[in-house]
Amino acid sequence: MTTTEFGAIDVFRSYSDELLSLWNARLTASGAAGDFRNKTGQLKGQTKELLRLMADATQSGQMDNLHTEAWKPVRSFLDQLSDERARQGYSSSQTATFVFSLKEPLHTVLRREIQDPARFASALWEVNELIDKLGLLTIESFQNSREQVIVRQQEEMLELSTPVVKLWDGILALPMIGTLDSARTQVVMESLLQRIVETGSAIAIIDITGVPTVDTLVAQHLLKTVTAIRLMGADCIISGVRPQIAQTIVHLGVNLQGISTKATLADALAVALERTGRSITTHAAK
């Protein structure tokens, strides 16, 4: 492509207004503009802004490498756009279609402006390449944003799932719910140990009623937690061992000897009260 002749690279600057209206019309026709998540005029603002940025970027004179300084505004704009759409709950194809729908307006303009078939073909190819790259970029950042959302939710769940409750003066309980993995056990262990120090509790009860399966790894984690609690000078009771879990533990050959285990939280509480020198009595009915 020579600079004297009109080529694919000039189309963004020379025909930006026409491209914009064609693009908007296309988005409206495909129904994307009518989506309820779009605020009025927001989509039009986005198309206008993107075209303006692309016109600026093409002034650098090249459009086959998007990782240059000139294309940086375009990239960051698309990043932001995908990030927004990921949060609003768009699907990845909806987000990519936004970029891909620019192809048709470009084709229309190029076909009208370039008569020579050979040059038209090469210009078309360049434009296609560019839009595909932009589309891929959008998808990539869309996925990144999605992953960030997932990671944040995981962290929130982690915090939610480790409540340490005080059952009695000097007795703490930790009802564990859900599958135990290394990361969770670490958080559980730390928060439990921290609470033991804060409250000066001599006995901690770990209730595993809500743990669906116990494998060797989970048993290992439990053992570690119990050992750490003992090292700090408190005692630990594991409660809520269901029959299947007891059988699994025996089958696995895990040695939980030396750790007091109880079938229910109530049993564990009774033992804990007894160890701290308390007892519960039933008053005779008057």
Partner 1 sequence: MGRTLLVTIQLDMHDAHALQLQEDLSSRIVDSSAKGVLIDISALDVVDSFIARAIANISSVAELLDARCVIVGMQPAVAITLVEMGAKLTGVRTALNVEHGMDLLRLAGV
Q: Cα–Cα distance between 97 and 105 in angstroms, integer?
A: 14
Closer CB to partner 1, 117 or 200, in the complex:
200
Helix (H, G, I), strand (E, B) or coil at 71: helix
Does residue number 201 form part of the binding site for partner 1 (CB under 8 A)?
Answer: yes
**Total residues in contact with partner 1, by rule CB under 8 A:** 18
Tell me the two tokens of residue 156.
Answer: 């929130």
Closer CB to partner 1, 101 or 185, in the complex:
185
Site for partner 1 (CB under 8 A): which residue of 61, 89, 233, 253?
Answer: 233
* Smallest distance from partner 1 to CB 226, Å: 9
Return the DSSP state at 80: H
Q: How many other CB atoms sit within 10 Å of the CB of residue 38?
A: 15
Does residue number 228 form part of the binding site for partner 1 (CB under 8 A)?
Answer: yes
Does residue number 234 form part of the binding site for partner 1 (CB under 8 A)?
Answer: yes
Site for partner 1 (CB under 8 A): which residue of 224, 244, 252, 274?
Answer: 224
Does residue number 197 form part of the binding site for partner 1 (CB under 8 A)?
Answer: yes
Residue type, 188: V
Return the DSSP state at 124: H
Does residue number 183 form part of the binding site for partner 1 (CB under 8 A)?
Answer: no
Q: Which residues 6+ apart lie within 8 Å of 75 measured at CB?
A: 66, 137
Select from 15-23, 57-65, 122-130, 200-208 the region that touches partner 1 (CB under 8 A). 200-208
Site for partner 1 (CB under 8 A): which residue of 190, 247, 252, 274?
Answer: 190
The gap from C-alpha 20 to its chain's centroid, in whole angstroms, comes to: 34
Q: Cα–Cα distance between 82 and 21 in angstroms, integer?
A: 22
Given the structure tokens 């007795």, which residue do they identify?
Answer: 171
Does residue number 230 form part of the binding site for partner 1 (CB under 8 A)?
Answer: yes
Phi and psi at residue 186, to the nearest 5°: -60, -50
Site for partner 1 (CB under 8 A): which residue of 196, 214, 238, 245?
Answer: 196
Does residue number 31 form part of the binding site for partner 1 (CB under 8 A)?
Answer: no
Does residue number 227 form part of the binding site for partner 1 (CB under 8 A)?
Answer: yes
Does residue number 189 form part of the binding site for partner 1 (CB under 8 A)?
Answer: yes
Does residue number 231 form part of the binding site for partner 1 (CB under 8 A)?
Answer: yes
* Smallest distance from partner 1 to CB 189, Å: 6
The strand order across the sheet containing 235-239 reads: 165-168, 171-177, 203-210, 235-239, 260-262
List strand residue ranges (DSSP E) for the chain, in order: 165-168, 171-177, 203-210, 235-239, 260-262
Does residue number 229 form part of the binding site for partner 1 (CB under 8 A)?
Answer: yes
Half-sphere exposure of 135 (CA within 13 A, CB side): 17
The gap from C-alpha 207 to its chain's centroid, in whole angstroms, comes to: 29
Site for partner 1 (CB under 8 A): which residue of 32, 202, 246, 256?
Answer: 202
Residue 112's DSSP bridge partners are: none
Select from 19-27, 82-90, 155-163, 194-202 the region that touches partner 1 (CB under 8 A). 194-202
Closer CB to partner 1, 55 or 202, in the complex:
202
Q: Which residues bind partner 1 (CB under 8 A)?
A: 189-190, 193-194, 196-197, 200-202, 224, 227-234
